[in-house]
Amino acid sequence: MKKKLSALLLGTSLVMGLAACGGGDKDESKNTDNGGTTKTTETADAQKIYDQKCSSCHGGDMKGAMGPNLTKVGSKYSKDEILDILKNGKSGGMPAGLVTGDDAETMASWLAAKK
């Protein structure tokens, strides 16, 4: 019984890990203000990126699962430190390059505001 449970947990972890690496479709979330101009809603973009790339390890509520709690990560790390972690990973399980380019900048700003 323990072998079956272990195999199930390992398989589930593998699937969740691979799901975190998926995505990559860039869907620009835009809204229009009363003046008729279009602006990117950075918070909505960051939440969408988080849901696609990060939630499988850090939990849908950011309170941690396999990865650490991120609800107050901005009080521990600066935007630049968070960006460095997103780009280069961190020993202990955070893979490098999971979020890149403009998405990494958006995520770093959003996470740095979590205090």
Q: Domain tally for the chain?
A: 1
CB neighbourhood size of 92 (10 A) = 7
Whole-structure pTM value: 0.64
pLDDT in tens, 1-42: 767 666 666 666 666 655 555 544 444 444 444 443 333 578
Residue 39's beta-bridge partner residues? 31
Range of the domain at 85: 41-115
pLDDT of residue 31: 44
pLDDT of residue 1: 75
From 45, 79, 73, select the one nearest 59 (Cα to Cα).
Answer: 73
pLDDT in tens, 47-95: 999 999 999 999 999 999 899 999 999 999 999 999 999 999 998 889 9
Q: Is residue 3 part of a domain?
A: no
Q: Is residue 5 part of a domain?
A: no
